Amino acid sequence: MSFSPPPRPYPADRYHAADGEVSARWRVRDAPNDLVTSTGSCDYLATGLTTNGDYGLYRWTMGPEPSGPAPHCHRALSESFFVLTGTIRLFDGTRWADGQAGRRPLRARRRPARVPQRVVAASGGGVSNADGCTSGTS
C-alpha cells in the first residue's frame, strides 16, 4: 500500500518529547451512558476536556421516536456525523438527505424512520453546542 501526503500540510508539531506519552482513554462496552434522554442516549467518547480542546467525539443511540435538532450551524466549530446503523436525516446547509450506515458524513441530523439508529458525531474544538444560527427547512 502506498501513502499519499494530505493535500495540505499537517499543523505544526505540538508534542516535542523524545518518547510518546501514555494518554489513551479506554471506554468499556458496558459503561453507563453519559446522557440519557426520552428519545435515546449519548456516550462521550472524547470531549474537549479530554482532548485539550482539539475535538469532541460522541456516540448517539436514538430510539424509534423521531428526534433531532432543527437545521443549525456553529460559529466556533465544525461538526461531522458518521452513521453506524440505520438511516439518519441529515442537512448539508442546502438540502436534506438520508445518511445511511457507512456513507459520507453530513451536517445536521433528524430522525426520519421509526427504527433504532446509532451515529457518531465529531466536532472540532471539543464542544457540540448550537449557537442560534439556523437555515433550511425539514
Q: What is the mean pLDDT of residues 53-62?
A: 87
Distance (Å, whole) CA 17 – CA 117: 42
Cell 501514555, residue located: 22
Domains in the chain: boundaries: 35-124
Reading the block at residue 68, the C-alpha cell is: 433531532
Would you state the pLDDT for residue 32?
96
Q: Which residues pair with 117 in a beta bridge?
A: 62
Give 33-43 pLDDT, tens digit per residue: 999 998 889 99
Average model confidence (pLDDT) across the chain: 74
Low-confidence winner among 16-20, 77-81, 103-107 (lowest mean pLDDT)? 103-107
Examine the pLDDT at 106 and tell me if it is beyond 90: no
Residue found by looking up cell 439508529 in the block = 117
pTM exceeds 0.85 for this model: no
Given a cut of 50, is residue 130 above it in pLDDT? no
pLDDT at 136: 38
Class of domain 35-124: mainly beta
What number is the average pLDDT over the span 63-90? Answer: 79
The owner of cell 456553529 is: 74
